[in-house]
Amino acid sequence: MATNELVTTAILNQLAIPTITATGTVGASELEDGSVSAVKLGPTAYGFQWGTDSSVAASAFKILLTTHITSIASGATIRFQALTANTGATTMTVSNSGTTFLTARKLVKFSYYSGSAKVVELAAGDIRVNQVVEAVYCDGLDGGTGAWVLTSGLSLPQVMYSSLSGGPTAYTGTCDPPLLAYSQAAGRLFLVLMPATAAGASATIALDGLAALPVKAGGVAVQAEMLLARQYYVLTCNGTEIGMVGRKTEYVGEATLPTDDTYVSFTHGLGKAPRQVRAVLKCLTAEDGWAIGDEIDVTSLRLNAATTDTPMFAVMANATEVVVRRFSTGLITYAPKGAGGLQLITNANWGLKVYAGV
């Protein structure tokens, strides 16, 4: 240390430690004797009370308080552990004696949508069994009648994973955490892995033991092969149907290959004329190197003469149907899958299939 620092330290060491003595009384705005007490730390302090759920009916909570009250004022806060889950719109009342209760009031929640916060009724499952519930009373709600506001509701994630099983028309699923009602699904997304390819327009999904709902894309029932096995999809639910997110609405239809000078009409149900239409022949029995399930676009098929350029099919569409017409005479000529020249198709070995999308 420098010489001046040593001198300064020596002088400070010789100074006596000061003693401060306060006299007089502490004012009302200052810390007073008894400001911290067992009562003020108790469950009834500052409007908070712990209660016991004595409900006998779902969605109608009757709370037996530690200290009974004869009236409720805004800001009163009650905490309790729920014995049952709510099943929809809910009421709550608190005790004013050991056996009687005040008039029941709605138990509601705040929900943010359309740019502002609004008071709404509870949905089924907003309160779960054994959940610790906190509710604050506000006498200006429910048209001035007063209502309890849930401040500790269960928060479900915005994106939920659902494990699906079953198919190809009826699927069942379980969510994590589980849904108690489809009203809880509003505004949420569900990620699913399809266990089997959907077989047609009657595909349904039932989540967590709830009712089976139809699966739709753009409000139109999904068609065969729109939901593929081992593929992930994002779904929504509005309470009456399961919707596919980000999926172009598509129709897929199959029929027997039409005979000469006939046509097949497919009602697509898309609500408007499709922007994209494609017709194919689908292999039903292996032929000329083509395997079952292989598809040949009808635009590549020609009349039986090898030198002709006459197409065999015409494909048309409007707001309600897709029509595939086969021309009057002649056999269908196509190229084999492997090597070799043009071959004549065996009608019984092939079916007609159309795709239409908007």
Q: With beta carbons less than 8 A apart as the criterion, state whether 249 and 357 touch.
A: yes
Q: With beta carbons less than 8 A apart as the criterion, state whether 170 and 204 touch.
A: yes
The per-residue pLDDT for range 21-59, each reduced to its tens digit, is 656 655 554 445 555 454 544 445 545 788 999 988 889
Task: Please tell me the predicted confidence (pLDDT) of residue 296.
Answer: 94
Tokens at residue 213, please? 């709902």
Task: Please tell me the predicted confidence (pLDDT) of residue 118.
Answer: 79
Task: Please tell me the predicted confidence (pLDDT) of residue 165.
Answer: 94
Torsion of the alpha carbons at 155, 157, 158 and 160, rounded to the nearest 10: -140
Task: Please tell me the predicted confidence (pLDDT) of residue 342.
Answer: 83
Q: Rounded to the nearest 5 degrees, what angle is found at the Cα of 180, between the Cα atoms of 128 and 191?
A: 115
Core vs surface per residue 316-327: b (16+ CB within 10 A) or e: ebeeebbbbbbe
Q: With beta carbons less than 8 A apart as the criterion, state whether 295 and 280 touch.
A: yes
Q: With beta carbons less than 8 A apart as the criterion, state whether 97 and 67 touch.
A: no
Prediction pTM value: 0.50
Partners of 256 in the β-ladder: 351
Q: Where in the chain is the domain with CATH 2.60.40.10?
A: 250-357
Residues of the chain with pLDDT under 70: 1-47, 112-117, 153-156, 200-201, 247-249, 304-308, 328-329
Which CATH architecture does the domain made up of 250-357 adopt?
Sandwich (2.60)
